[in-house]
Amino acid sequence: MAETHYAARLVDPGYAIEKGRNNTLTCPVYDGAHLSTPTSGTCTIRTTEGVISSGAVTVGGMVHAAEYTITSASMADLDYSDDVSVEWALLMGDGVTHTFRSEGAICRVSGQQRVTVADLYRLEPYLDPDSGGAVWSQNGVDQCIEAHLEVETELWLAGRRPYLVVSQAALRRVELLTALRMCCEALSTTGRQTFIDKAQRYADQLARTKQQATLHYDTSGDGRIDDPEHRSSMRAGSYRLGSVRGSSLVYPWR
């Protein structure tokens, strides 16, 4: 049998593993457009100190993906860290063991989705498919999820880990405008000028919000905003997007 080219659908920018509890990680694998369940496999989680957890995966189930649980006990003596790698070695239907890798972090609290469809419907009631003026058959759930992933990925790639953010208000506003922009972009494909204009308006608002937003961080993992001597931005325990402080030059949303 010829070897198949599989793709792991690792949509999160990295695995944010909460130190204080057991975490179940998943690795959905696709063969083209179809979800493909592994026959068996292993998952290995490493830090700079070496392997911290490794074992056989669970396959099948409702998600039809490889699953692996890292226990809180295996992380009890570890510091919070973003130097984590997660490696899946999965035996697939072509008889070959395929390896998929992703980065990760051991953190206090993982990033949370901050916007739901109720937030969309409050601002744009016609997005509710059950409303009298509904303009589509979707419900906005996918756009909320994708908006969250887009914001998390942008921050992760900029080196500003989203799981360190203490105050959520700024990120909620960014996620909300991103989701509304995505909804209107989807509706703009109908050619109706109203949605084309709305998509552009939300995109403009989003750009301004990103430039103005200030994120407050907890880099020590104690659940509190950082002290001034540990600041990484313009103000104690905060970071203004697009700002410069000393040798810290990061423009995550420019």
Which pLDDT belongs to residue 248? Answer: 32
Residue-wise DSSP of the chain: -PPP--EE---SSSEEEETTS-EEEEE-EEETTEE---SEEEEEEEETTEEEEEEEPB--TTTTSEEEEE-SGGGTTPPPEEEEEEEEEEE-TTS-EEEEEEEEEEESS-------HHHHHHH-GGG-TTSTT---S--SHHHHHHHHHHHHHHHHHTT--GGGB---HHHHHHHHHHHHHHHHHHHHTT--HHHHHHHHHHHHHHHHHHHH-EEEB-SSSSSSPPPGGG--SSSTTEEETT-EETTEE--TT-
Which pLDDT belongs to residue 82? Answer: 85
Which pLDDT belongs to residue 218? Answer: 80
Which pLDDT belongs to residue 128? Answer: 93
For the chain, 254 residues long, the average pLDDT of each consecutive 10-residue run is 88 90 96 94 95 93 87 93 94 95 92 93 94 90 95 84 80 95 92 90 94 80 63 40 34 48
Which pLDDT belongs to residue 84? Answer: 94
Fold of the domain built from segment(s) 7-107: Immunoglobulin-like (2.60.40)
Which pLDDT belongs to residue 228? Answer: 47
Which pLDDT belongs to residue 253? Answer: 52
Which pLDDT belongs to residue 227? Answer: 60
Which pLDDT belongs to residue 7? Answer: 96
For 49-62, what is each residue's pLDDT tens digit? 899 999 999 997 77
Domain layout of the chain by residue ranges: 7-107, 117-249
Please calculate the CA angle 23-24-29 and round it to the nearest 5 degrees: 145
State how beta strands 40-47 and 81-91 pair.
antiparallel
Which pLDDT belongs to residue 156? Answer: 84
Which pLDDT belongs to residue 219? Answer: 75
Q: Which residues contact 61 (CB under 8 A, 6 or more apart)?
A: 67
